[in-house]
Amino acid sequence: MGDRVSERPLIGISSSELRAPADVKQTPQGEPADPELALGLSYLRAIELAGGLPVILSPLSLETVKPLVARLAGVCLPGGPDLDPTSYAAGAHPDLGPTEPEIDDFEIALARAADARRLPVLGICRGAQALNVARGGTLHQHLPDQPRTGLEHRQRLPAAEVTHEVEIAPRSLLARFMKRAELTVNSFHHQAVDELGRDLVAVAWAPDGVVEAIEARGRDFVVGVQWHAECLIERPEQAALFGSFVEAARRRSRRVELIAA
């Protein structure tokens, strides 16, 4: 890995959360209240520690997506609120949480544009769900309604604490770079993958059968995990997730440079 910042692959990360003016404490010195983007610094730090150069992607008009993606070596889709079910042609469940349909549209378009350019993509929690929807998949909107669900998938412990086991498919990309058949993860999700999107396979499961990770066939790195790995990077297997993602982005960047040379 090069030490110079200029050698680090540029990783775009979206922000799927908005804070309403009423939710932000104003100070006499502050600017007028306005909706704000919210993104945990832990995502950015995890990518930086893995050797990437993270940049936040503003959820602008859909016409900006392709020009944004053209400048990137990889895309990270982070956690956030529930996806609006209209994005996968479903009606709203009574217990659907708050949604941001315009941001959903941006992130789904972002995932599809990254896919079209064969960029490495890492989805985390909601990001894994958005990756699945972008490829035509669907979601369980309210996990407690699922008959086999026996775990608390929204833990009350801090994010650095782990609460349940995950079984990983032995010949999966995930197993290869994590070097594990099982691991223990945190859990903060209300929804989960139902029908898999085009060319996606489930590669990890919770003990109650809920899909915990997906990946794309025939791609260097298109992976979605349901847990918040960015909060667990002191664990070698979770750091390896980000390390493998950034290394795939570096390989992609080098291929582009060779073609352009």
Catalytically annotated residues:
125, 228, 230
The DSSP call for residue 95 is T
- Decide: 253 and 52 in contact? Cβ < 8 Å: no
* CB 121, CB 111: distance < 8 Å: yes
Contact present, 208 and 164 (Cβ < 8 Å): no
Which residue, 206, 202, 104, is CA-closest to 153?
206
Q: Beta strand pairing status for 222-225 and 121-124?
A: parallel
- For the beta carbon of residue 216, count every other beta carbon within 10 angstroms: 20
CA nearest to 122, candidates 20, 47, 31 = 47
d(CA 11, CA 153): 29
Residue 211's Cα: distance from chain center in Å? 14
Residues with Cβ within 8 Å of 96's Cβ and at least 6 positions away in sequence, in order, are 82, 85, 141, 142
State the amino acid at position 214 in one-letter form: I
Convert 116-132 to b/e letters by CB count within 10 Å (16 or more is b): eeebbbbbbbbbbbbbb
